[in-house]
Amino acid sequence: MGRGVKLMAMALLCFIFASNLAHSEEVYEWNFKPAKNNEPPTTEPHYLELLDRHDGYYIGDTDKKNLYLTFDSGYENGCTDIILDVLKEKNVPAAFFVTGYYFERQEALIKRMDDEGHIVGNHSWNHPSLPELKDEDVVTELAKVNDAFESLTGKEMDYLRPPQGTFNDRSMDIAKDEGYQHIFWSFAYVDWNPNTQKGKSYAYERILDRVHPGAVLLLHSVSRDNAEALADVIDDLEADGYQFQSLDHLTGKSFFPID
């Protein structure tokens, strides 16, 4: 074997080793530590380091009673129009993180979200665990959603909610290179199974029990409980001095509240 061939073989082995090393990086699942008495939660120190490095967010200013309402929208269950009706009536902004399902089957809902001033964010095309994909597959998952949104609205997406809540330094780095900011959350409850809904009062109590200044609330748009409770949640939180803001307010893209 000639020297040139040996060098090429060594380079190939190094590439394979580096690739395997990258894909063996630990996969994290987002979590936070809830607090009592409507105090803000905390999360893992190394998660905070990753958020800082990649310009991500999970919570706003905890000294101000701003709230950021976000919905994960993996598929449609007949509740999204109800949610949008409430948001329009109450003049409240929200963000909807959508998958490819919506562009294949529910384009009218995407258009309505955008037309009514809500942020539409990227939740990937197929909802895979991004850190478990190859680099090029992460790019493809995000690009397919953004391209479909741009084709429909003429706009590009700025925010990413990682599917399954999984992430690591590599997946966050790729997303940042693609122009995204990660948006995690500081409030969530078990609301994503449409077969185990517990009623409007249950959703209302869960939300008001753990809401806190600066909260990024994660709700699922498949939940009928959320849809039915939303109007009362908004009314009572606003009566308590909270203001609902856009994610652009959270990230500093806009410094003014929605009128």
- By annotation, the residues acting in catalysis are 72, 220
171 CB neighbour count, 10 Å cutoff: 24
Q: Which residues make beta-bridge pairs with 59?
A: 215
Burial of 77 (0-12, 13-18, 19+ CB in 10 A): middle
Locus of tokens 């060594």:
10
Per residue, the 3-state secondary structure of the chain, as one string, reads CCHHHHHHHHHHHHHHHHHHHHHCCCCEECCCECCCCCCCCECCHHHHHHHHHHCCECECCCCCCEEEEEEEECCCCCCHHHHHHHHHHHCCCCEEEECHHHHHHCHHHHHHHHHCCCEEEECCCCCCCHHHCCHHHHHHHHHHHHHHHHHHHCCCCCEECCHHHEECHHHHHHHHHCCCEEECCCECCCCCCHHHCCCHHHHHHHHHHHCCCCEEEEEECCCHHHHHHHHHHHHHHHHCCCEEECHHHHHCCCCCCCC
